[in-house]
Structure 1
Amino acid sequence: MKKKLAIWLALCVIWGAGWNAAAAQGEAWSFDPFHSSVTFTIRHILAKVAGTFDEVQGHMVFDPARPEAGAVTVTIPVNSINTRVEKRDAHLRSSDFFDAEKYPVMTFESTQILSGKSTTDFIARGTLTIKNVRRPLDLPFRYLGSTVHPMDPSKEIIGFEAHTTIDRLEFGVGNGEFFQKGLIGKEVSIAIYVEMLRDRVSAK
């Protein structure tokens, strides 16, 4: 338990240091946990199985007119994995896959936000960390707009969606045994749907 807490605290320090620098560039949006989701699909023998991570945390600085001044950090607790089968979820949390006891979170931290092919398309270039394995990731995302929250005029709301594919074996999520036997694919398709909020009084 002490080791797990130490890992979590160290991640918070690293995450906080990077975020404080980014937040200084503009007003931060915070994830709305009730209207944000991270879903994934992976092949099982022939068909695909879907799942979610039910918890997603993070902040973002973003102005579509000045994407280069933006930044995003995301933290996903591994224990929040949910494929609707308790036994399977327990196996995924085990050392055979995510080893959630030793590596309790996954993180993505951007180093740059780039314009895409249209005025609503952007790329968050950064680092994805799973099981302490850090790999570069260009995450394409679409800006869905921003508006005053219709149920709470004191808040602004902004929306995004993103799609990407990663190789789970590159992050040590599994040792390749099930892939070689044709049971589970190695490519994981990820879809991210996000709404974020901030106070209108702090918006610029």
Structure 2
Amino acid sequence: MSANLSRWVIDPSHTTVEFAVRHMMIATVKGRFAGVEGHILADPSDLTTAQAEVTIDVASIDTREPQRDEHLRSPDFFDAANFPKITFKSREIRRKGENEYEMTGDLTIRGVTRPVTLSLTSEGQAKDPWGNERAAFTVSGKINRKDFGLNWNVVLETGGILVGEEVRISVEVEAIKQAAAA
């Protein structure tokens, strides 16, 4: 680890992982994953040298509809029993503007790994009331669920499909700087 890079641990109680997908071609269904953990090796003043690793617990999916959540955990979609985790590992971060970056990494869903490029915004740093240094980031992007083997669908009698293929991803991350090792 470079002398300038610090280890930051994702604070799951202040981090949200959300997604949105079209339903019946006319509406949008949103959901979230509550189980998220990971770390970032970074100098927040220069994120182009950062490295991030994130793990999401598939069973923690919540779309506010228990029957739909169980279907999403089933082999029709995420197959949580056989593929309990979604992972992301960054490979490259490029500056796009002030506090704006493009992050490319490997996303693994259902055992399928594909490169994805996401927008990354550094939201700043602050000390909390207990003296911990915190940093916040917003990450967003789109994936095609079929690229990861999430193929289940139903054709509607109007000729459309029940579940859209494009999935919009939105993540708000708060991370806590860890003390340097002695």
After the TM superposition, which segments of 4 or more aligned residues of structure 1 sit over 6 Å from their partners?
none
CA-based RMSD of the aligned residues comes to 1.8
Q: Unpaired runs of 5+ in structure 2? A: none
What is the distance in 1 between the residues matched to 2:12 and 2:73?
21
TM-score, normalising length from structure 1?
A: 0.81
Deviations 1:35-61 (A, max 9, x none): 100111111111111110011110002
The equivalent position to 1:194 in structure 2, one of 152, 163, 173, is 173
* Offset, 1:132: 1.2
What is the distance in 1 between the residues matched to 2:122 and 2:113?
26
C-alpha contact 2:6 2:43 (8 A) present in aligned 1: no
Partner of 2:48: 68
Greater helix share, structure number: 1
Letter in 2 for 1:80: S
Partner of 2:92: 112
Partner of 1:39: 18
Deviations 1:153-192 (A, max 9, x none): 1x10000001101100110113454587511111111110
C-alpha contact 2:125 2:135 (8 A) present in aligned 1: yes
* Offset, 1:119: 1.7
The equivalent position to 2:81 in structure 1, one of 101, 113, 125, is 101
TM-score, normalising length from structure 2?
A: 0.90
Query: Residue 186 of structure 1 aligns to a residue in which SS?
Result: strand
Partner of 2:6: 27
Q: What count of residue pairs does the alignment treat as equivalent? A: 176
Letter in 1 for 2:180: S
* Offset, 1:76: 0.4
Q: Unpaired runs of 5+ in structure 1? A: 1-23
Letter in 2 for 1:189: R
Q: Which has the higher contact order (CA 8 A, sep 6+)?
A: 2
Inter-CA distance 71–178: structure 2 relative to 1 (3 Å threshold) = farther
The equivalent position to 1:59 in structure 2, one of 30, 39, 45, is 39
C-alpha contact 1:108 1:126 (8 A) present in aligned 2: yes
Partner of 1:91: 71
The equivalent position to 1:164 in structure 2, one of 138, 141, 148, is 141
